[in-house]
Structure 1
Amino acid sequence: MQFTLRPFTAADADWLVAQHADHYAQVEGFDDSFGPLVAGIIQDFLSDADPRTEAGWIAQADGVRLGSMFCVRINAQTGKLRLFYVVDQARGMGVAQALLDQCLRFARSVGYAQLTLWTHESHVAAGRIYRRNGFERVAAKPVHSFGCDLVEETWQITL
C-alpha cells in the first residue's frame, strides 16, 4: 500500500477522536471517558500549538486516513509524542514506522534533546516499535483509568 504523510488539520479532529474512542473501547474495554481526553488533547493542539516546535501528521492513502502522530513541546529540551494511532487495516504496512520516523526527525530538527511519551503496558505492539527505535521504558505504575485496571508507562529517548 502506498501512503503519504501530511500535516494534521482541524478537519481531522473528529475522525481522530472517534478512531481512538472506538478502537480502545473495543480492544481494551476503555469507557467513554477516553474520547473526551483525546478531544481535549486535540483541542489544545489546535488552539495553542507553536508550529516552530510542535506538529501533527496524518498518514493517508487515496484520501483515506490511516493513522496519526503528534510531537508537542514540554519544554525547550523535551518534546512529547502523542496520539500515535494506526487503523487496523494499515498495521504491518510501515505506517507506524513512517509516522515515528517523521516525529523523530521533527523533534531533532527543532532541537529537542529528548522525546517522551505516555502509554499503557497493554499496547504491546507500540512497546515493540518504541524499543526497536531506541526508546526506553523509564516508569510504570498500576492505575485504574478509563474504567480499566491498567499499567501506565512512560518511555523516552535521548535524541
Structure 2
Amino acid sequence: MKLYFKTAILTAIIIFLFLVSFAVGFTITIEKSKIKSKQQLKGKNITEIAYIKDSYPQRIDENTILIVRKYFKACGHIVEEKSNIPQEYFGMVKEDFRRLFSAWEIDAFNSKYVVISRIFEGYCSHHFIVSIKDGRVAIFYSQPVDGDNLKLITPYKY
C-alpha cells in the first residue's frame, strides 16, 4: 500500500509541475507577443495604424490609381493597364462606380487604387492575322484597335 501511495503522490506532483510549467510558458509567450506588437507600432503615424471600419465608405480622390485587367479566353493572356483615375470619378463610392461599370468586376476599391477586371472572348491585341486585302498581303489585329482591325497593308502583291 505504501508503494502505491508514493507512486500516486509522485504522479500527482509530476502532473502539477507539468501544468504549472505549461501555464508559465503560455503566459511568457503572450507577454512577448504584446511587447512585439507595441514595438511594431512605435514610431508609426497614427493614420498608418488606425483601423478603418467597413461602414466608412472609401472614396476615389485625385491620388487614386485605376488598374484595368482584361483576361482573354482564346490566348490566355492578361492585359493590365494602370492610369490616374479621371477627374469625373473623384468623390465616388464603390456603389456609384459599380453602376457605371456594371459589366466589370470590382476586385479592389479604396482611396489608393481601384482594380476592375473583365473576361473577354477571343484574343488580345498582341495577336495578328495575316490575310489579303485589295490584292496585297495585309496584317490585321485579332481584336479591333481604335475601332479598326487593319494594322498595315504591305507592298507585296498576292
Give TM class, smaller chain: under 0.3
TM-score (ref. length: structure 2): 0.21
TM-score (ref. length: structure 1): 0.21
**Which protein is richer in helix relative to its size?**
1
Rg larger in structure: 2
Which structure would you say has the larger RCO, counting Cα contacts within 8 Å and 6 or more residues apart? 1
